[in-house]
Amino acid sequence: MTTTEGHGFVLVQTSSCCPEQYDVYSNGEVIGYLRLRNGYFTVECPDCGGELVYEALPLGDGIFLDNEREHFLDEAMKAIMEWWRKHEDYT
């Protein structure tokens, strides 16, 4: 499990491949779910099964290629920040 911080959130990798997936936390609570499976990357808020806030088709299948991971995770975090700005009353 990998944990990183960015954009004021904590990103925790919960699966490293097939699918590569992450939970995103703010103040100890899950606020986003990221998943790459079969070449389809999705970001949902506030958690798995929530609203789709970002989707993309990276070259990696069940795991990002090393040269694309940072880009897609950064775009995911931006999408989560935008969703939370619009839903501040949710928290």
Q: Provide the residue ranges of all domains of the chain, joining segments of one domain with +.
A: 3-90
83, containing H or E segment: helix 69-86
Kindly state the DSSP code that residue 86 receives in the 8-state scheme: H
The alpha carbons of the chain give a radius of gyration, in whole angstroms, of 12
Q: Is the pLDDT of residue 91 over 60?
A: no
Q: Please identify which residue in the block is written with the tokens 């506030």.
A: 46
Q: What is the pLDDT of residues 56-90, one digit of tens each?
A: 999 999 999 999 999 999 999 999 999 999 987 65
Q: Which pTM was predicted? A: 0.90
Which among 16, 21, 81, 18 is positioned nearest to 46, based on CA atoms? 81
**Between 58 and 7, whose confidence is greater?**
58
Which among 14, 15, 19, 54 is positioned nearest to 30, based on CA atoms? 14
Q: Positive or negative CA dihedral for 5, 9, 15, 19?
A: negative
